[in-house]
Structure 1
Amino acid sequence: MKKLILLILISLFLIPDSYSQTKEDVIKSDTLNKGKKFQFVAIPIIFYTPETSFGFGAGAQIFLLKEKNIYNDRVSNIFVDFIMTSNKQFIVDVIPQIYFGQGNYFLDMSFKWKIFPNNFWGIGNTTPNSNEESYDMTSYITKVSFLKRLPPDLNFGFEYIYENHDVTKVQEGGLLASGEIPGSDGAIISGFGAIFNLDSRNNVGSPTAGHLLKINAQFSSELFGATQNYNKFIADLRTYQKISKHSIVALQLYYEGNYGTAPFQGLAWYGGGNRARGYYQGRFIDNSLYLFQAEYRYRFKPRWALAGFGLFGKVASDFKELANFNELKPSAGGGLRYKILKTQDTWVRLDAAIGIDGSSGIYFGVNEAF
């Protein structure tokens, strides 16, 4: 297994680009009126995940047509959404992504407010299903990143992170009610980080060619108002390889490690619609996590595609335990994709996945998981 993991790591960098397609525009130029400075798009939102059940709402996206990355044709934009779910969860997002200097500088921001009843099973890779308890939490999350382009596809920069998590209700007699878990009575995460990425993907939401290597180091400190001191390191490696005229294989290896005393809100969470489909998001939580997933995507019509995927991974208290490749959490599944507009590469995705020990999930949302 260790040799397999090493082979996967090496292959992510050594797979040749001979199968890669020519880069496509993120937003095709013929959809834009060159005389305009702005383009406004209203977006109805409907989705389904195990964490939210049915969700619905509305969103809007404003494209700043004059502020463009000329190197990959990505356009500056501001996205806003308002969401509520059948689980009585409320979410508001504001996500500005602005390019300066023709794409040589990138300001990437996100602001989130959410009231989110959720479930908790404890910390560790072997927590039993019987541990499940509910809690309510209100969160304010801000992330601001500023990156400088290093030709041709490298980007480097810094970020600031602020998260305020107010735990408003816990289950009587439960793990969170004991007060022994950091963050059980609320937490503030505040600090800075550094970002390095190599991004040659031809599209962000649904790539068909290219690679992504992203490395992110963060620290949260009481000096900046945090309730705990801890450091976080993230490595995200992805590649997209064409294997026939209408099909590709997508691979991702993701690692996250936390060092110090992190609140449970800042730990590595396994599961969800993007990482570890088939498991509830946060079903397993701990200091460290790794995940490998592979997906085959077949576009049998210009606006229709099928996908099949498999994955495995785990969480652990430290890297030594993580490197012991036992008690893995695998899952497998498949789904259907539909391209909403002919001229814009935005896809609707429906996936179903099955894990172990009765875990499963259905996911309906926008764009690929990775």
Structure 2
Amino acid sequence: MTHKISPVPFLVSLLFCLWSPLAQGQVDSIAMDSVAKEPFHDQLLNTADDVLDWMSTDTWSFIPVVTYSPETSLGLGLGAIKVFKPQVGASERLRPSSMPITFIYTLKKQAILEMDIDLWKNDNRDFFNASLELANYPFEFYGIGNDLPADNMEDYSSRYFYLRLNYMRKILPNVYVGPWMEYRTEEVYKKEEGGLLAGGTIPGSNSPQVAGIGLKINYDSRNDIFQPDKGSFHQVSWITYHDFFGSDYTYNRYEVDLRKYIPVWKNKVLAVQGYWSFVDGVAPFQQTSLLGGSKRMRGYFEGRYRDQLAMVYQAELRMPIYRSLGLVFFGSTGQVAEKLSQYGFDRFHYGAGFGFRYKFMDEGINIRIDFGFGDQTAFYFGLNEVI
């Protein structure tokens, strides 16, 4: 799950990192005359580096998170990430494995826990990925279709458990193939009276459970998994959900994700993506093809538009600014449809924005702060790149 976070986390976390007395107490003492000669922006970056170092161990790095929205009230949380190589004496070619974890709890007793692991082994011949989510959180539902007014929005809250497992084996240079499974059970416990979800006619409005097994094929020639500046990542996936696996709904989902990384002038990188999703059969609305959120079309709420099919095109221009700081400009366009014949050039939605990056690990992992502009202005806070 991806979710929009208000500007408060960045501002509060930044102030905390730069000015808290506790942080200042941990910074190595420096002669006053040398501090005075150091530019103010360097002092800020040095302090931020020292605080993040203080909050980290030899194996884990931690980031405080503070959120606020009318639906959730004040939320406090912690992000953590571990980057490692699971095999002692592994070759330099072995890609780093990673394990990010995020937990947020709000004053309205809402909570979300997200855990992922990407594990590379055997000189990059074997790859394992797992994702786990537990949540009790508010969401927005606008209906099904590509032309839905903003006043269609209705709030709902749900509790859900989500698990995804994926193993891939390298069969050719840069080519990986392997099975994957997905399981999600959800209780939609709060709906707006008189709304579409309360009417019970929308698939998924009455606490769905889905389970499926599928296949993925990857082509991965990126020169770096965290900060690629050349190469490609292409993925084709298929998954089938069936009552044989314990699913309440029977349907298939197909996805194609094509990404290319192009070095341009003076250490700048252009990242482009084309994404297509197709659902065959009746799926709960939570599992339909959709636009919006932090991964596809920033500036739109996740699920702002959803239907059987979706297409999204995105581009990002990434550039360094100074030391650990970077700047990103991005744009996107996309649409959803019930069937292929409904796609049209006049049905695209558009989004754009900019963001800042702070590299806080030698492996190239960034703190990501994005401002997206679509049918709303949205702020996103996370780790690693979107594309």
Q: CA RMSD in A?
A: 2.4
Instruction: Return closer, same or farther for 1:68/1:179 CA change in 2, 3 Å cut-off.
Output: farther
Instruction: Return closer, same or farther for 1:354/1:115 CA change in 2, 3 Å cut-off.
Output: same
CA deviation map 1:224-262 (0-9, x unaligned): 111110100000001110111221111010111101001
Structure (1/2) with the larger strand percentage: 1
Partners of 2:195 and 2:371 lie apart in 1 by: 31
Instruction: Return closer, same or farther for 1:52/1:144 CA change in 2, 3 Å cut-off.
Output: farther
Q: Structure 1 residues 76-85 or 180-189, which shifts more?
A: 76-85
Partners of 1:262 and 1:69 lie apart in 2 by: 43
Confirm or deny: 8 A CA contact 1:39 1:64 kept in the other structure. Answer: no
Q: Secondary structure at the match of 2:300?
A: coil
Partners of 1:297 and 1:226 lie apart in 2 by: 42
Instruction: Return closer, same or farther for 1:225/1:126 CA change in 2, 3 Å cut-off.
Output: same
Q: Secondary structure at the match of 1:40?
A: coil
Instruction: Return closer, same or farther for 1:335/1:94 CA change in 2, 3 Å cut-off.
Output: closer
1:339 aligns with 2:359: yes
Confirm or deny: 8 A CA contact 1:68 1:99 kept in the other structure. Answer: no
Instruction: Return closer, same or farther for 1:78/1:305 CA change in 2, 3 Å cut-off.
Output: closer
Instruction: Give the AA of the match of 1:216.
Output: S
1:353 aligns with 2:376: no
Q: Secondary structure at the match of 1:326?
A: helix
Instruction: Give the AA of the match of 2:285.
Output: F
Identity rate, percent: 30
Partners of 2:181 and 2:198 lie apart in 1 by: 31
Structure 2 gaps, min length 5: 1-56
- Per-residue deviation, 1:344: 2.6
- Per-residue deviation, 1:85: 4.8
Instruction: Return closer, same or farther for 1:230/1:209 CA change in 2, 3 Å cut-off.
Output: same
1:200 aligns with 2:217: no
Q: Which residue of 1 aligns with 2:27?
A: none
Q: Which residue of 2 aligns with 1:292?
A: 313
Partners of 2:204 and 2:212 lie apart in 1 by: 17
1:156 aligns with 2:177: yes
1:176 aligns with 2:197: yes
Corresponding residue pairs, total: 329
Instruction: Give the AA of the match of 2:374.
Output: G
Partners of 1:90 and 1:69 lie apart in 2 by: 38
- Per-residue deviation, 1:211: 0.6
Alignment counterpart, residue 96 of structure 1, candidates 107, 112, 117:
117
Structure 1 gaps, min length 5: 1-37
Q: Which residue of 1 aligns with 2:34?
A: none
Confirm or deny: 8 A CA contact 1:190 1:225 kept in the other structure. Answer: yes
List 4+ stretches of structure 1 deviating above 4 A: 47-55, 67-72, 85-88
Confirm or deny: 8 A CA contact 1:240 1:251 kept in the other structure. Answer: yes
1:236 aligns with 2:253: no
Instruction: Give the AA of the match of 1:312.
Output: T
Instruction: Return closer, same or farther for 1:268/1:89 CA change in 2, 3 Å cut-off.
Output: farther
Give me the TM-score of the superposition, normalised by structure 2: 0.79
Larger RCO of the pair (alpha carbons < 8 Å, separation 6+): 1
Partners of 2:132 and 2:101 lie apart in 1 by: 10
Partners of 2:234 and 2:65 lie apart in 1 by: 31
CA deviation map 1:66-118 (0-9, x unaligned): 26975843233444332235775411233233334333222211121111211
Q: Which residue of 1 aligns with 2:158?
A: 137
Partners of 1:87 and 1:235 lie apart in 2 by: 38
Larger Rg: 2
Q: Secondary structure at the match of 1:190?
A: strand
Partners of 1:296 and 1:55 lie apart in 2 by: 32
Partners of 1:184 and 1:70 lie apart in 2 by: 50
Partners of 1:221 and 1:245 lie apart in 2 by: 51
Q: Structure 1 residues 331-340 or 132-141, which shifts more?
A: 331-340
Instruction: Give the AA of the match of 2:386.
Output: A
Confirm or deny: 8 A CA contact 2:290 2:303 kept in the other structure. Answer: yes
Q: Structure 1 residues 86-95 or 204-213, which shifts more?
A: 86-95
1:121 aligns with 2:138: no
